[in-house]
Amino acid sequence: MKYRSRIYYSETDKALMWDRWQEGESLREIAQLFDRHHSSVRGIFERYGGMRPPTRRRSARSLTLAEREEISRGIAAGHSLRSIALRLGRAPSTVSRELRHNGGRHAYRASRADKAAWDRARRPKICKLASHRALARLVAVRLKLQWSPEEIAGWLRRTYPDDENRQVSHETIYKTLFIQARGALKKELLAHLRQTKSMRHPRGHTQKKRQIKDAISIRERPAEAEDRAVPGHWEGDLLIGANNSQIATLVERRTRYVMLVRSKSKDTKTVINALIKHAHKLPRELYKSLTWDRGKELADHKRFSLATDVKVYFCDPQSPWQRGSNEQINGLLRQYFPKGMDLSKVHQNHLNAIARRLNERPRKTLGYYSPAEKFAECVASIS
């Protein structure tokens, strides 16, 4: 094994690391810049939860190194504090305090005093959740319900509009979770986030490319579906588990209402049969179209349309963002059905319970109302 001497990273090195991290490079790639193992740089990112710390700056009112050197020369020449202050354009009390904090006339050294002042200036601000324990408890309870920090922050603003002590930004929640030195939220709550990592990572995405015969492009989807003006237009996909198991996930575009459908296999016949059975449970006015990716499970989409009178539209290749609501829900579902889980053992009743929990969560895009509330309004309007 190659021996590497110990290395101390400079502030310039760390700035380069953060630049590369924000560009999406891995720990291994960043460590290779310094001929190191990835564990050598991991601690730098974990200390701040993967979120780049703000650049430290000196206050404009602080003494500069040049001013401290002028103080040192004045003392060596035997000048009074008042005369030194006059040359600097500072108050005599400023010079007096500088000497008192750094050893007095006989021990004062400009460079040492400047470094000590820089170190003393590092005073971490107490985060809001640490100083407002009732607010921290509110946040913790909803994190355990798998609410996202953004949903929690929006719900607090809506529920307590006139009480700032019961409001907190989603970024503060994330920072308090990832930076445990803040001491307000327990590390165990990280397990309730959609991404259960110990620090925030640059975003990435996966893409799928499929060929479907006679597929109708999403570009032909009616305008009312595109702008979400009218309910009844759905997005769908399969959530894949271990042992060739899967769940069909459906999201209504206007209300973000979620429905989960158990499917014993991902062959097109089984999936289409499950979707047809499910479609007959909804009022016709609330099921007008379905947008899917290029998965082979919907190869028999014509039979589905014939049986339900629901038109099926397909996304462009490598464009999962075109059914973004469904992609987001699939991400949320991984909190309940992690990768590698055998989904064939999940009963439909359990799927209904998970869907109900998601539908009762407030959504930012709905003004922090829940999909269940908005969907109920649509049902009432057609009744």
Mind listing the pLDDT tens digit for each residue in 231-252? 999 999 999 888 888 999 999 9
Q: Is the confidence at residue 210, as pLDDT, over 70?
A: no
pLDDT for 43: 83
3-state secondary structure of 109: coil
Residue 206 covered by a domain: no
Asked if residue 142 and residue 92 are part of one domain, the reply reads no
* pLDDT band at 2; cut points 50, 70, 90: low
pLDDT for 359: 95
Asked if residue 273 and residue 241 are part of one domain, the reply reads yes
pLDDT for 369: 95
Residue 60 covered by a domain: no
Q: Is the confidence at residue 87, as pLDDT, over 80?
A: yes
Number of domains in the chain: 4
Alpha helices in the chain (DSSP H): 11-22, 27-32, 39-46, 65-76, 81-88, 92-101, 104-107, 110-120, 128-131, 133-143, 149-159, 170-178, 223-226, 268-279, 301-308, 324-333, 348-359, 371-382
Asked if residue 289 and residue 315 are part of one domain, the reply reads yes
Position with higher pLDDT, 266 vs 355: 355
Asked if residue 278 and residue 140 are part of one domain, the reply reads no
Q: Is the confidence at residue 205, as pLDDT, over 80?
A: no
Residue 202 covered by a domain: no
Instruction: Give the DSSP H or E segment for 311.
Output: strand 311-314
Residue 1 covered by a domain: no
Q: Is the confidence at residue 155, as pLDDT, over 50?
A: yes
Position with higher pLDDT, 107 vs 123: 107
Asked if residue 114 and residue 153 are part of one domain, the reply reads no
Q: Over range 121-128, report the average pLDDT.
A: 74
Residue 24 covered by a domain: yes
Instruction: Give the DSSP H or E segment for 131.
Output: helix 128-131
Residue 197 covered by a domain: no
The model's pLDDT over 14-43, given as tens digits with 9 standing for 90+, comes to 888 888 888 778 888 888 888 788 888 888
CA-CA-CA-CA dihedral for 35, 38, 40, 42, to nearest 10: 140
10 Å Cβ neighbour count for 234?
27
Which range marks the domain in which residue 18 is found? Answer: 11-46
Pairing mode, if any, of strands 289-292 and 311-314?
parallel
Residue 212 covered by a domain: no
Asked if residue 327 and residue 278 are part of one domain, the reply reads yes
- Which CATH number is 375's domain given? 3.30.420.10
Asked if residue 71 and residue 18 are part of one domain, the reply reads no
Residues facing residue 248 across a β-bridge: 238, 261
